[in-house]
Amino acid sequence: MNSPLNTPTPQFGTAEYVGKPGGDHCYFCHTPIGSTYYRVKDVMTCPSCADKVRSTAGADTHAAFVRAALYGAGAAILGMVLYATFEIATGIIIGYLSLAVGWLVGKAMITGSKGTGGRRYQILAVVLTYAAVSTAAIPVWIHYAGEHRQSRPAAHHTQTEESSDNGDDLEGSAPPQQRPSPMMAVATLVALGLASPFLELSSEPVGGAIGLLILFVGMRFAWRFTAQRAPTVNGPFENTPQLSG
């Protein structure tokens, strides 16, 4: 037997009657309305079904938020990889991919939470979308740095030989340079990646501004996707019987 909450979506454009015309019935369980009733999405419900809607539809629990965070993080990583892969493969920077990343993160989070949304979901979705798009610059930088390093092996070899020939003269003249620790290097790279949408403004003001605008729209997608979706339950209202003329 189907649950009362698994009924088709109400057709608000047309009137729907259950039972004999003129009688008030609960939209979900079809039982006659007593002295009080509630409204869910503008349809009349009995107090029992109203309580079920409150307790089961879009319940914001810790488990739901954790699932949404995990799904969203996975979608953000996938979006970052796809964004960077496209740019590396084509050499073209398309800011409109930010829209796809925002949709992907929002869809994943609402799927993980099983339809639950709310302000904390929206904030996390926006943060994940921005992080995915901005840090996509990191693998692109690493790729081009590797290509640049491979394109100058001969010059590097020549410089190494000259340094070896003059090693005795230069020994002790300059202190050795200390390389940053791996953790510091990673932290610096991540920080630059997160700031990359704004760093582009200095090199390409027009393109950078357009990219930021599109990124904002993508973040807006994620924000709207993860908004509160639980139906609003209004009431109780008194069910005043209609007097027959």
**Amino acid type, 19:** G
pLDDT tens, the chain, 245 aa long: 444 444 444 443 333 433 333 468 888 888 888 888 888 877 888 988 888 877 665 567 899 999 999 999 999 999 999 999 988 888 777 778 899 999 999 999 999 998 888 999 999 999 999 999 999 988 888 887 777 676 665 555 555 555 555 555 445 555 556 677 878 878 888 888 888 888 888 878 888 888 889 999 999 999 999 997 766 778 788 877 654 44
Show the DSSP H helices in 9-136 as ranges.
47-56, 62-90, 97-112, 119-135
Alpha carbons 205 and 213: distance in angstroms, whole number: 12
| DSSP code of residue 168 | H
Alpha carbons 9 and 58: distance in angstroms, whole number: 16
Total-model pTM: 0.64
Distances (CA, A) of 239 to 27, 29, 46: 15, 17, 11
| Residue 107 φ/ψ, nearest 5 degrees | -65, -40
